[in-house]
Amino acid sequence: MNDLDQQSDAMLEEQQVRPKFTWRLYATLAVPMIMFGFYAIDHNWTASQYNEHVFGIYDGTANRTADRMETVNAGSSSWRVALCVFGLVGLVCVSKPKLRVSLLLVTMMGYFGWLYLSVAWSVSPAATAYKLAVLSVFLATAFGISRPLNMEQLAIRFMIVCICYLFWGVIAEFVHGGLRLTSSEYRFTGTTHPNTNSVYAAIICLCSSIFVFRKGRSVSWTAIAAFCIGATFLLLAKSRTSMAATLLGLAIIGIIHVSPRLRVPLLACVLFFMAAAGLTMNLVGNQLKGKVGTAAAMGRKDDVTTLTGRLPLWDELGDSIADSPVIGHGYLGFWTGERVEYLSELLKWEIPHGHNMYLDVLLDGGLVGLFFYLSLFLAGLVSSTRRFFATGDRGAAFTTGLLVLVLLHGFGESLFKMPLFPTFVLMTMLFRLNWEPRLKEVVAEERVRASMASDQQLQQVGA
């Protein structure tokens, strides 16, 4: 054993004294706190019954989204506060890694700072002020929980929460008679919306990569089981956007795991096949396009040519963006109850948001907000990838795949912009990148660097 290994083992022994009862208790409570908290915020036991009505022809008799805009849910508000307190406990009492000033932290402060300033020019100042208060509690929770747990521990806990949500949704659908797996038009709803369930399934699929070769085994049955669960629910939810984003996220995770000399060729292959698929669709005949479109619809009867009604919605939102293209309309100031009801009535389907993350960011903060938002993602990709290459942290690899997933998913959905559980997963992982690596990660980084230096010396001797 060399001096580095002896020093590293001594440091790890010292660290093992620290995970006292407090840390273990906090790490154990993280799953039920997050699970029950966001269930109260995001979910509804009778969601499958309501969504069965929504997926039909919109008649304006019920619009739960518009109703929720005008009311304050005391139960969900209480859980938001409870989660915030739990996060602050983790921030102050459980662990002491130092916060480091990085490009990622600067871009996050720039984006959210701009949103807080937007109350000054919001078209609905009261609504924006209230939403910013909710956002503050949300961010404080993510920031606090990100400190005591490392990236891999966080990712595994998020995966467990997603699995619990999906299986509880199966029970809810069974109880309400909505579990019709043989129906061609069936989409798994559970206790939320199919598109949200598809994001949970995508997170599970990405998290399965953490268990691949985790303990030196050629096959990890935990990885296979997690991936099968995620893939099954991804197919049941029938979200084309989530399916494509998941495949790309998994591809990126796989690429960064291979040897450096293979990364660029593999990435080039992924980009080539994406471009080739788009070019083929433009060149083939209408008959073949129809067959491909039917397959891409995953059995759904929606109008694929309008992206399930999104294109008319985006045309409407484009006119509103043009009214204030630079600074936007204020954080969520555009989405009032009256606006939701107007657009839902106009386009004949219940519209909760812009169904495009980038358009919603433009509505909130204009081009300035979009600049900060894209800078945040770029800094996050650089930071997570560097962390993985330096330490082999599979949680960092998961974060890289998640960021890529969100960037593609954002072209068809806005879920990762709203203060809900999918965004909580994203923000917590990004916040964790701003904390100094725990001692174990530093030791791993030192060993990786020593191994690389040893390999270079051997190559020089061989030459």
pLDDT of 29 above 90: yes
Report field, pTM of the whole predicted structure over 0.75? yes
Band (436; pLDDT cuts 50, 70, 90): confident
Q: For 202-207, what is the mean pLDDT?
A: 96
pLDDT at 350: 78
Residue 7 in any domain: the answer is no
Which residues have C-beta within 8 Å of that of residue 362, sequence separation ≥ 6? 321, 325, 328, 369, 370
Residue 310 in any domain: the answer is yes
Residue 240 in any domain: the answer is yes
Residue 250 in any domain: the answer is yes
Residue 4 in any domain: the answer is no
Q: For 184-209, what is the mean pLDDT?
A: 92
Give the whole-angstrom CA distance, residue 183 versus residue 166: 19
pLDDT at 5: 44
pLDDT at 231: 95
Range of the domain at 255: 21-462
Residue 5 in any domain: the answer is no
CB atoms within 10 A of CB 346: 12
Q: Look at 212 and 26; give whichever has higher pLDDT.
A: 26
- When divided into structural domains, the chain yields a total of 1
pLDDT at 113: 97
Give the whole-angstrom CA distance, residue 183 versus residue 121: 48
Give the whole-angstrom CA distance, residue 269 versus residue 258: 14
Residue 412 in any domain: the answer is yes
Residue 343 in any domain: the answer is yes
